């Protein structure tokens, strides 16, 4: 209702007009309420404002890209913790024998939300835009192996030579070298496709508002109020069919306690237990909410890093001793309510190449103490574990538990809380002491774990400093090995080397991802990788 309009009528001295106007507006309001009641709305909460809906400029928040855009290939959840690559905007593709040239055939008749038809030009534009230095993109890693990408990023070429539009519906992408994970990467949210006609004129302003966001996906951005909420509405022309959910509301709620209360008051429809792990026993024991829990495995691994540049962890015996000094089973049971499984390697369950036969790390503080003594530390060692202040109480609590546990083996741990900016800046320099973290798959390929952590740059930037050229060579081999069996064998061998021989990190566990949903929400499935960001196209509202 518009009270200003009514008072305007009153001021004009026309009482009847005001009454009629009020009645009309009330009726209109009631009609609106009726429409709103019929509308199928799903409301969720984020814990952080996404910086932009431009997925090329955003390395963390993918809820909007996964629902507003499509990709050439999609990675769908086929069963809890299982995934498959299926055609998306490309109906089919071919790979050359040398594994360097990929040809994608686009789906015809797909429309962007501005009405434009998807063409090969849009795909070439999207990927070239990512590599164009003027874009200042943050996700160039997903394309920097395309032929000509380095020249383009350095500003030495006006376009990327490896991206070609063969005809209106055919795109050819040539890589510098064979790169097996490429198809899986094409299914990651960073590889979402933009419309050239819409995006180019906006330049750096693309993706900052609802009006400046446009994809081919099942939902369209309707409203974006910074630090408050985003509203996505169903795309009636979506090529897979209009979504059943009419409106998808994403609230920005930074405080986890407020988020939980919003859920209990029925103001949000899904509660992500990752934001408040301590609430899991409450929800599981609750007669009201216990049956409303939806869980799924997460293709993600909790780990403790080990920085080999910081003494005494330059000695492999000390690293092995630390691995043995942590009772991981106890932490999983007592702190995470047994909602997961112990992991022994680099890859968690659910990721291609996962090896269930990876040798188990035993919990043996006495043996750990012996190893420390052999390494020349019979009186034990001092060490540091860093955590991000405010990241979540579970991380600090886990640090305290580990601190108490490893003391038996002779590790005297100092827990340091760092502010997030200092944490990431120090880690980037390779100088961060041990820290705990979780890594969930961006795309389903072992490279996403191995190369990220133990590639020549990643191992420093993540403060592992496992500077082993033999490992780098094996990682490069893994990237180009096209035979799946040989590739699996290669990664299994590498995993053994890294964990058993080199003790590069302490694998902890992979956790289930738990959500509590309101009874009206149906067919909600936890995504295969266990992310908090997922496509909601298949979910239903009763």
Partner 1 sequence: MKSFILKRLLISIPILIGITIIIFFMLNVVPGDPVALMMKEHISVDVVARVRAQMHLDDPAIIRYFRFLGGALHGDLGESYKLNRPVTSLILNAFPNTLLLALWAALFAWAVGIPAGILSAVKKYSLPDNLFMGFSLLGVSMPIFWSALLFQWCFAVRLGWLPVAGFAGWKFVIMPAIVLGWSSAGIIARLTRSSLLEVMRNDYIRTARAKGLHELPVIFGHALKNALLPVVTVMAIQVAGLLAGAVVTESVFNIPGVGRIAVNAIQARDMPLLQGAVLFETVLVILGNLAADILYAFIDPRIKVS
Binding site for partner 1 (CB under 8 A): 49, 51-52, 57, 59-60, 133, 136, 138-141, 144, 153, 204, 208, 225-229, 251-255, 257-258, 261-262, 264-265, 267, 390, 419-422, 424-428, 437, 439, 442, 457, 460-462
What whole-number distance in Å separates Cα of residue 306 and Cα of residue 467? 13
Kind of pairing between the strands at 540-541 and 381-388: unpaired
Nearer to partner 1, 462 or 496 (CB): 462
193 and 69 in contact (C-beta within 8 Å)? Answer: yes
Closest distance of CB 143 from partner 1, Å? 12
Closest distance of CB 48 from partner 1, Å? 8
Nearer to partner 1, 61 or 315 (CB): 61
129 and 160 in contact (C-beta within 8 Å)? Answer: no
Nearer to partner 1, 188 or 358 (CB): 188
Nearer to partner 1, 210 or 371 (CB): 210
Kind of pairing between the strands at 509-517 and 101-106: unpaired
Nearer to partner 1, 59 or 170 (CB): 59
Nearer to partner 1, 19 or 261 (CB): 261
- The total of other beta-carbon atoms located within 10 Å of residue 342's CB is 14
Closest distance of CB 249 from partner 1, Å? 11
What whole-number distance in Å separates Cα of residue 270 and Cα of residue 390? 23
Cα dihedral value 455, 164, 62, 303, nearest 10: -10
Nearer to partner 1, 169 or 271 (CB): 271
Closest distance of CB 125 from partner 1, Å? 20
Nearer to partner 1, 61 or 327 (CB): 61
What whole-number distance in Å separates Cα of residue 50 and Cα of residue 37? 29
Nearer to partner 1, 85 or 461 (CB): 461
Which ranges of 1-72 does DSSP label H, i.e. alpha helix?
3-11, 15-38, 63-68
Kind of pairing between the strands at 247-252 and 41-46: parallel
| Nearest one of 205, 254, 226 to 47, comparing CA atoms | 254
Closest distance of CB 104 from partner 1, Å? 25
203 and 194 in contact (C-beta within 8 Å)? Answer: no
Closest distance of CB 229 from partner 1, Å? 8
Closest distance of CB 63 from partner 1, Å? 16
Nearer to partner 1, 394 or 426 (CB): 426
Kind of pairing between the strands at 170-174 and 219-225: unpaired
Nearer to partner 1, 55 or 76 (CB): 55
| Nearest one of 456, 467, 453, 460 to 430, comparing CA atoms | 460
Closest distance of CB 26 from partner 1, Å? 17
Nearer to partner 1, 171 or 259 (CB): 259
The answer to whether the bond into 312 is cis (omega within 30° of 0) is yes
**SS3 of 319-352:** HHHHHHHCCHHHHHHHCCCCCEEECCCCCCCCCC
What whole-number distance in Å separates Cα of residue 194 and Cα of residue 198? 8
State residue 303 phi and psi, 5-degree precision.
-150, 160
The DSSP string of 372-415 is HHHTT-TT-EEEEEEEETTS-HHHHHHHHHHHHHHGGGTEEEEE
For Cα atoms 95, 439, 492, give the angle at the middle one, nearest 5 degrees.
60
Closest distance of CB 182 from partner 1, Å? 17
Closest distance of CB 286 from partner 1, Å? 13
**Which CB contacts under 8 angstroms, 24+ apart, belong to 171-174?**
171/72, 171/90, 171/103, 171/104, 171/106, 171/120, 171/123, 171/124, 172/101, 172/102, 172/103, 172/104, 173/101, 173/102, 173/103, 173/104, 173/127, 173/146, 174/100, 174/101, 174/102, 174/146, 174/147
Nearer to partner 1, 31 or 225 (CB): 225
What whole-number distance in Å separates Cα of residue 147 and Cα of residue 163? 8
Closest distance of CB 386 from partner 1, Å? 12
Closest distance of CB 24 from partner 1, Å? 21
Closest distance of CB 32 from partner 1, Å? 14
Nearer to partner 1, 143 or 517 (CB): 143
CA-to-CA dists, residue 145 to 174, 182, 194, 331, 479, angstroms? 9, 9, 20, 40, 11
What whole-number distance in Å separates Cα of residue 463 and Cα of residue 431? 6
């Amino acid at each position: 209702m518009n009270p200003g309009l009514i008072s305007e009528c009153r001021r004009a001295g026309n009482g009847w007009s005001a009454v009629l106007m009020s009645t009309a507006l009330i009726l209109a309001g009631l009609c609106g309420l009726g429409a709103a009641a019929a509308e199928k709305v799903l409301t969720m909460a984020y814990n952080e404002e996404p910086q932009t809906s431009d997925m090329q400029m955003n390395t963390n928040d993918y809820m909007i890209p996964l629902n507003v855009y499509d990709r050439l290939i999609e990675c769908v959840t086929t069963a809890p913790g299982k995934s498959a690559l299926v055609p998306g905007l490309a109906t089919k593709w071919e790979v050359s024998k040398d594994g360097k040239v990929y040809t994608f055939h686009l789906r015809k008749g797909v429309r962007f939300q501005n009405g434009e038809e998807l063409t090969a030009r849009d795909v070439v534009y999207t990927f070239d835009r990512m590599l164009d230095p003027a874009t200042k993109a943050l996700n160039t890693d997903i394309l920097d192996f395309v032929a000509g990408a380095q020249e383009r990023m350095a500003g030495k070429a006006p376009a990327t030579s490896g991206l070609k539009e063969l005809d209106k519906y055919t795109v050819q992408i040539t890589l510098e070298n064979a790169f097996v994970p490429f198809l899986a990467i094409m299914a990651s949210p960073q590889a979402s496709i933009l419309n050239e006609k819409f995006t180019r004129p906006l330049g750096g302003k693309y993706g900052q508002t609802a009006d400046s966001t446009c994809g081919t996906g099942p939902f369209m951005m309707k409203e974006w109020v910074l630090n408050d909420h985003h509203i996505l509405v169903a795309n009636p022309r979506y090529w897979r069919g209009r979504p059943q959910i009419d409106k998808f509301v994403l609230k920005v709620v930074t405080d986890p306690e407020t988020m939980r209360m919003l859920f209990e008051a029925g103001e949000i429809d899904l509660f992500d237990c990752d934001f408040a792990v301590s609430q899991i026993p409450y929800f599981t024991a609750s007669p009201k909410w216990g049956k409303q829990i939806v869980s799924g495995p997460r293709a993600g691994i909790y780990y403790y890093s080990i920085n080999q540049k910081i003494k005494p962890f330059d000695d492999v015996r000390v690293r092995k001793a630390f691995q043995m000094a942590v009772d991981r089973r106890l932490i999983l049971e007592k702190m995470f309510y047994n909602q997961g499984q112990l992991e022994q390697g680099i890859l968690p369950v659910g990721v291609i190449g996962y090896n269930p036969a990876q040798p188990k790390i035993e919990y043996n503080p006495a043996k750990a103490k012996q190893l420390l003594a052999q390494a020349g530390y019979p009186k034990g060692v001092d060490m540091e574990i860093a955590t991000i202040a405010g990241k979540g109480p579970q991380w600090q609590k886990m640090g305290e538990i580990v601190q108490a546990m490893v003391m038996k083996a002779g590790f005297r741990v100092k827990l340091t809380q760092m502010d997030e900016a200092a944490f990431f800046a120090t880690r980037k320099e390779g100088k961060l002491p041990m820290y705990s973290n979780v890594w969930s798959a961006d795309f389903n390929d072992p490279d996403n774990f191995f190369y990220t952590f133990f590639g020549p740059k990643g191992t420093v930037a993540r403060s592992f400093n496992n500077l082993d050229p033999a490992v780098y060579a094996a990682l490069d081999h893994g990237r180009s090995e096209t035979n799946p069996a040989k590739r699996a064998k290669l990664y299994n061998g590498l995993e053994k080397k890294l964990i058993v021989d080199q003790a590069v990190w302490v694998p902890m566990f992979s956790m289930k991802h738990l959500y509590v949903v309101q009874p009206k929400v149906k067919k909600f499935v936890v995504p295969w990788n266990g992310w908090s960001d997922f496509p909601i196209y298949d979910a239903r509202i009763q």
